[in-house]
Structure 1
Amino acid sequence: MKKRFALGMLSGLMLSASLTHAQQLLLTNYTVAGDQPVVGMIVTKNGATPQKLSVKGPDARRFMIDDQQRLVLRPGKADAGAVSYAVEIRGRTPEGKVSVPFRIVNDQFLKNKVIAHRGAWKHTGASQNSIGSLQQAIKLGCMGSEFDVHMSADSGLIISHDHAHQGVLIEKTPTAQLTSLKLANGENMPTLGTYLDAGTAQNKTRLILEIKASQLGKERSLALTNKVVGMVKAHQAQGWVDYISFDYDVCKRIKELDPYAKVAYLTGDKAPELLAADKLFGLDYHFSILKKNESWIDEAQQKKLTINAWTVNDPAIMDWLLGKNVDFITTDEPETLLTKVK
């Protein structure tokens, strides 16, 4: 028993050390397409240049590291039927030896601008923010499926739009109790882990993850952010996930934790110039904000920020936004919008 305990302690220490080093090694991108074989550069979070890099893992034979320290898909090694490739990048940083697993998405993501708000639920019988509504969004062929994440009383990560479900406050309730609650379609309330598992089983629809600001204060919102980004990394889901939040400090914290994450701001009270200066990926504003500040659309495009508008259910407003060539439109009516972009 003592030997088993000691081995467990040693394994825990090794895992802790490995994770510490792992945070120092990142990719600048996590997707690859056959006609664009460069995945991205292998970098460290603190800017140091990693040394003695090599590729290992189940799909190592498909990749190489070029003289610019970029992970590159070898000619003729793409697998058209693969959802993703499993690799492990090994090297050395100032902190020591590093060995980090990654999943590289075989990029077949759709580019039709349609983001299903809380999944595709309105005409499908699925509940909002359920695995079913995600699967329906994938089945419809949406570019992305949006969902919301809260933190439970015991720091579990729970999928729900509202801060309470059936009168039960998410932030003051343990995970086990929350996941026993039923949604309208009979599913149990999902965790972020189960949602990521479902979403990363395909490579057509992106996962648009909203981090919900805590009702218990800024510190808890940032703790939630730390947990979410950590779980996305643990599931090697970086290639699928884009982040959004109404809390600007949450957006900036995501960028601190993962400088190459795609992060967009939701509230609509900041000009594109500030978002670009803080290296956000895009703005994600209510359509009324964009109609009131049409110049922001041009400014955002000039600064190479993506533009999303929410929540757009009126066909006339969809047409207006498509005419402005916004990048994405979030809607409860993905079926309607899909007919306009096909």
Structure 2
Amino acid sequence: MKTRKLFLACACALFALAAQAQTQVIAHRGFWKAEGSAQNSITALKKAAEAQVYGSEFDVQLTKDGIVVVNHDDTIGGYTIAETDYATLKDLKLKNGETLPTLEDYLKAGKQLPDIQLILEIKPHKTEAQENRISADCVKMVKEMGMEKQVEYISFSMHVCEQLVKLTPGSEIAYLKSDIAPKDIKAKGMTGIDYYYKVFDKHPEWVKEAHDLGMKVNAWTVDETADMQKLIDLKVDYLTTDQPLEAKELVK
């Protein structure tokens, strides 16, 4: 009986380790290719949750009057977001007919979907003052809504990442620009690298280096099956993709 219990305990432990090591899928700008969806829409978030992937990535920008809105580009409807008040932007439509969501809208929707991680990308802004404000506002809103464990942060701006480390040191924070070795990112207090997938052709050793440092590795934006498989074989932790269903099937 004792031998059987020991065997079962070992099997469970091995299963847990295998599950932990499995590459997981993040829907890039949400599952925007689903019917009725659009990039960075709340529908895209909901569709990603329905697809039962690990996370849904989205982008935020700061309006002229300090409202954080969800949009990839720094322009929408012919307006530059950073130079335009929210009142002018609030009724603009996404491709699926939804109005431009604010971060508050997005987080409220995400809070109703606790099984999916929200991968919040803060876009680089023209000034450090703008980056300081949007970083602080995002962290404040996430904390006020009690979503610190559900929200992870990424940015191409090193300044933004450094601010996030100061503002929310317990959060998952990853750098996107793909130009710095993991040990240097670790030294800055970040928890992961989130790099363009082709960088790992040149630096496959960065995956193991990051893992040895206790860091997570994400690769973006991986849409071809052969590229997905190569990265799965490298044991990256996450694939960010516009093809979440295909990626999810492959990692099985």
Normalising by structure 2, what TM-score? 0.89
5+ residue gaps, structure 2, are 1-21
- 1:92-241 to structure 2, matched below 5 A, reads 113-214=24-125, 216-241=126-151
Match of 1:253 among 138, 145, 163: 163
Larger Rg belongs to:
1
CA distance in 2, matches of 1:112, 1:199: 22
Counterpart residue number, 2:197: 287
Contact kept, 8 Å, 1:112 with 1:142, in 2: the verdict is: no
5+ residue gaps, structure 1, are 1-110
Moved over 6 A (4+): none
- Deviation per CA, 1:73-109: give whole Å up to 9, x if none: xxxxxxxxxxxxxxxxxxxxxxxxxxxxxxxxxxxxx
Q: Higher helix share goes to which structure?
A: 2
Counterpart residue number, 2:251: 341
Counterpart residue number, 1:306: 216
Contact kept, 8 Å, 1:290 with 1:296, in 2: the verdict is: yes
Higher RCO (Cα < 8 Å, 6 or more apart): 2
1:203 Cα shift? Answer: 1.8
1:249 Cα shift? Answer: 1.3
3-state DSSP class of the match of 1:256? Answer: helix
1:139 Cα shift? Answer: 0.5
**Structure 2 residue identity aligned to 1:270:** I
Q: Higher strand share goes to which structure?
A: 1
1:235 Cα shift? Answer: 1.5
1:201 Cα shift? Answer: 0.8
Counterpart residue number, 1:36: none
**Structure 2 residue identity aligned to 1:238:** E
Match of 1:332 among 242, 245, 249: 242
1:128 Cα shift? Answer: 0.2
**Structure 2 residue identity aligned to 1:292:** K
**Structure 1 residue identity aligned to 2:67:** G
Counterpart residue number, 2:18: none
Match of 1:243 among 138, 153, 158: 153
Change beyond 3 A, Cα 1:112–1:301: closer
CA distance in 1, matches of 2:83, 2:140: 22
Q: What's the Cα RMSD here? A: 1.1
Counterpart residue number, 1:10: none
User: What is the number of equivalent residue pairs in this alignment?
Assistant: 231
Contact kept, 8 Å, 1:118 with 1:147, in 2: the verdict is: yes
**Structure 2 residue identity aligned to 1:175:** Y
- Deviation per CA, 1:269-324: give whole Å up to 9, x if none: 11111111122110000011111111111111111110000000010000001111
CA distance in 1, matches of 2:164, 2:172: 9
CA distance in 1, matches of 2:233, 2:23: 14
CA distance in 2, matches of 1:219, 1:288: 33
1:123 Cα shift? Answer: 3.6
**Structure 2 residue identity aligned to 1:204:** D
Match of 2:172 among 240, 262, 267: 262
Contact kept, 8 Å, 2:60 with 2:123, in 1: the verdict is: yes
Task: Decide which moves more: 153-162 or 169-178.
Answer: 169-178
1:219 Cα shift? Answer: 2.2
CA distance in 2, matches of 1:258, 1:326: 25
The sequence identity of aligned pairs, in percent, is 39
**Structure 2 residue identity aligned to 1:317:** D
